[in-house]
Amino acid sequence: MGGGAIRAPWQARLRADVLGRPVLVSAEPDVSPRGAAMLALVGAGECPDLRAAHRALGPNVRRYEADPRRSARYDELFTAWRTVRAAIRSAGEPGR
């Protein structure tokens, strides 16, 4: 994740919980300058590829792990939402 939303750590935790998987968040909210720097390193021949440029600039991510209990609850809520949505759709079909 990158951009302004990452300034609030709860958003990363929420995404990790909803997805049920770890989320990597850029330590820098404005990722465009970092991407430009990586491209410049490759273009200037200082790094052979973007992976090497990323390594050259150093680590810049934080990892947020999903909470299994909250992830399970989000799965339950999603299943319930899908059931209600299907019922509403079928109620609106002609002949029912």
Quick: pLDDT tens for 64-95.
999 999 999 999 999 999 999 999 999 987 76
List, as one string, the DSSP characters of 76-96. Answer: HHHHHHHHHHHHHHHHTSTT-
Which pLDDT does position 28 carry in this prediction? 77
- Mean pLDDT on 18-32: 87
- Mean pLDDT on 4-10: 81
> Is 46 or 28 the better-scoring residue by pLDDT?
46
| pTM of the model as a whole | 0.67
d(CA 51, CA 11): 27
d(CA 79, CA 84): 9
